[in-house]
Amino acid sequence: MQFIDLKKQYSLIDKAVLTSIENVLQHGQYIMGPEITELEKQLADFVGVRHAIACASGTDALLMALLALDIEPGDEIITTPFSFFATAEVIALCQAKPVFVDIQPETYNLDPSQLVSAITDRTKAIMPVSLYGQCADITAINHIANRFDIPVIEDAAQSFGATHFGHRSCGLSTLACTSFFPSKPLGGYGDSGACFTDDDTLAQKLSHIRIHGQNQRYCHQRIGINGRMDTIQAAILLQKLALFPAEIKLRHEIGERYYHALKDVVKLPLIKPENTSVFAQFTIEVKQRDLLAQALHDLGIPTAIHYPTPLHLQEALSYLGYQRGSFPCAELASAQVISLPMSPYLTPDDQDKVIQAVKHNLARLKLTDYV
């Protein structure tokens, strides 16, 4: 059994993918070829925004967003301590300061009720992460941000395709960034990502930033990065995007089946009624999760931990001065979450095997008292 089945998906689109790659090889525009423009149009249409700017990775998308907002050394960016390291890393690369706000234990997303107390006159952006495939409470976050005239950047690396009050992730805030890393809901065959915005000025900045700040050949108005998406990745993603709506439906069905089977024996992320999730991971929370992980491993069932160490306790960010106990909800989640096999092509038989193994071993290890 695989944690994420990428081979099944490829078998459905292999001819189309190979034809698209061959087209790129024939026209020879490997950097910023016509497939980039077409992908950007289709991504923007899918999300429902004016602009999508393709780039080299989800990390580059976040960095580009900060650069487009002219973040400077000493500025503060509020975000969550419970995320992949890149969320805070890009802030540090701008020599700005990550300011963490704890998560909601029910959703694992940033808790908007703690935002106001974290805002200072140096706060230049709020960067919520839409974790595990579900949008953060962007409506509440936007309401607070608007009071203080602070832009919001949605880190939507795991939530592309999800909805919040009927609107798609990446179309909910000033800027949004996603990743097309192979394991993401819409994943390519290598690294790539995109930024999204309705703001024409920000879109132009982003398009320059991804090419070393270049506004025309060898003319550089600003500092940028080498953040271009390869044309071959765009060609592949165009084929995968065509399949994506059907895969979202499959993700919903598999996620709901997990929920129905496991809701009485483990803690599950609360999917709020205003949201839909694309289940980038199917993550549960149990006490002594390492015992469960080992038991599942012994049965040939792969698992993963997203994420074992909260950002404020990472050695690279120790200069921020946070201590164990600073963000108790994030710390507890890091100690207890475990992700189960999840993909649109997880078979009913394999899912049954996972469900029964989880139930059996929770009972055997006496780990069912999770609340």
Q: Are 206 and 298 found together in one domain?
A: no
The whole-angstrom separation of Cα 170 and Cα 176 is 5
pLDDT digits over 33-62, tens only?
999 999 999 999 999 999 999 999 999 999
User: In CATH, what number is assigned to the domain containing residue 318?
Assistant: 3.90.1150.10
Domain check: are 117 and 227 in the same one? yes
For residue 135, pLDDT over 90 is answered with yes
| Tokens coding 240 | 């995968």
CATH of the domain at 214: 3.40.640.10
**101 contacts 248 by C-beta, under 8 angstroms:** no
The predicted pLDDT at position 365 comes to 85
In a domain, 328, yes or no: yes
> Cis (ω within 30 of 0) for the bond into 108?
no
Mean pLDDT for the chain? 97
- Whether 369 is covered by a domain: the verdict is no
Q: Which residues are paired to 123 by β-bridges?
A: 76
Which secondary structure element, helix H or strand E, spans residue 233, and what is its range? helix 231-262
Q: pLDDT band at 266, cuts 50/70/90?
A: very high
- Residues 107, 113: contact at Cβ < 8 Å? no
Last residue of a domain, one of 184, 216, 237: 237
Quick check: is 343 in a domain?
Answer: yes
Whether the per-residue pLDDT at 209 is higher than 80: the answer is: yes
The SS3 of residue 79 is strand
pLDDT tens-digit readout, 158-169:
999 999 999 999
Ramachandran category for residue 360: left, alpha or beta (phi over 0 → left; psi -120 to 50 → alpha): alpha
DSSP of 194-227: EEEES-HHHHHHHHHHTBTTEEETTEESS---B-
Q: Is 355 helix (H, G, I), strand (E, B) or coil?
A: helix
Q: Are residues 256 and 350 in the same domain?
A: yes
Other CB atoms within a 10 A radius of the CB of residue 252 amount to 15
Tens-digit pLDDT profile for residues 82-112: 999 999 999 999 999 999 999 999 999 999 9
Does 15 share its domain with 113? yes
Residues 283 and 163 in one domain: no
**205 pLDDT higher than 50:** yes
Percent of the chain clearing pLDDT 70 (strictly above): 99
User: In the chain, how many H helices and how many E strands?
Assistant: 10, 14
Q: Does residue 275 sit in helix, strand or coil?
A: strand
Are 137 and 185 in the same domain?
yes
Domain count along the chain: 2
- pLDDT above 50 for 371: no
Domain region containing 153: 6-101+109-237
Q: What pLDDT, in 10s, does the model give residues 313-327?
A: 999 999 999 999 999
Evaluate if residue 369 carries a pLDDT over 60: no
Kindly state the tokens that stand for 3. 């944690």
Q: What digits encode the pLDDT tens for the residues 1-18?
A: 999 999 999 999 999 999
Residue 366: per-residue pLDDT: 79
Domain annotation covers residue 371: no
The answer to the question of residue 189 being in a domain is yes
Boundary residue ending a domain (237, 265, 282): 237
Domain co-membership, 151 together with 186 = yes
Last residue of a domain, one of 210, 237, 264: 237
CA 117 to chain centre: 26
Burial (Cβ within 10 Å: 0-12, 13-18, ≥19) of residue 261: middle
